[in-house]
Amino acid sequence: MKKNNVLIELTPLLDVILIILFFILVQSEGRIGDFYEETREAFEAELAIYQAEMGTFIAEHAQEMEYLRGISADYNALRLGLEEDTGIILVSIASDADNSDNRWILVEADSDTTRIDLCWDNRAREDASLEFSTTLASKIQSAESTVVVLVFRFDSTRTFAADHRLVSGAIHIQRQFVQLVFAELDIRI
């Protein structure tokens, strides 16, 4: 048996394959460049839209904040005007956010604030009730105006019913002896 010594030269075939691969890479690079440009243009268009929306939002927010500042200024002016013309007494029940057993009554009139601490001890509770009644009576008597406005503010989700009854009872007693304009506000937050 004779071996057939056929030598195939692969160099020209390999050259043709490499040339075809080169053309494919050049074409794909052109397509990738086009894809990159299209993506960049789309991103810039979306960015411009978002920036316009953000500018609109900022303008609306600034307008809303200006409106709220105006309301706050009107409220403060009204409150100051009322304080000058009438005797306003603000009574509120407050408590510690971490410990609801730490509670107190605040009585505010003529930039003078009195704090009366509350607890569950019967003797201390009676003392707090008496102190609140006398403080409230003295604030009403010291109001030099003919109209006395008493505002009782509390948060019903954080105020104990016994504390509410204590304050309401003392206010009710004062209303029997003095002409009061009374408002009770539940300020749930």
* pLDDT tens string 111-138: 778 888 888 888 888 888 888 888 888 8
Looking at the structure of the chain, the number of domains it has is 2
17: amino acid identity, one letter: I
31 has pLDDT over 90: no
Mean pLDDT, residues 34-46 taken together: 89
- The sign of the dihedral angle between the CA atoms of 118, 124, 125, 130 is negative
DSSP type of residue 145: S
Of 56, 84, 112, the last residue of a domain is 84
Of 84, 101, 119, the last residue of a domain is 84
- The sign of the dihedral angle between the CA atoms of 20, 22, 28, 31 is negative
- pLDDT for 150: 79
Phi then psi for residue 8, to 5 deg, are -100, 130
Q: Are 95 and 149 within one domain?
A: yes
Binning pLDDT at 50, 70 and 90, where does residue 6 land? low
Judged by DSSP in three states, 151 sits in: strand
Mean pLDDT score across all residues of the chain: 80
Q: Are 157 and 94 in contact (CB under 8 A)?
A: no
- pTM summary value: 0.51
Q: Are 56 and 73 within one domain?
A: yes
Of 32, 54, 84, the last residue of a domain is 84
Q: Are 117 and 54 within one domain?
A: no
Q: Are 77 and 90 within one domain?
A: no
DSSP helix, strand, coil percent of the chain (3-state; round to 5): 60, 20, 20
Give the CATH number, domain containing residue 122. Answer: 3.30.420
Closest CA to 174 of 152, 153, 156: 152
Q: Are 50 and 121 within one domain?
A: no
Q: Are 28 and 13 within one domain?
A: yes
**Which range of residues forms the domain containing residue 1?**
1-84
109: amino acid identity, one letter: A
Provide DSSP, 36-95: HHHHHHHHHHHHHHHHHHHHHHHHHHHHHHHHHHHHHHHHHHHHHHHHHHSEEEEEEEEE
Q: Are 37 and 117 within one domain?
A: no
Q: How far apart are the first and last CA of the chain?
A: 104
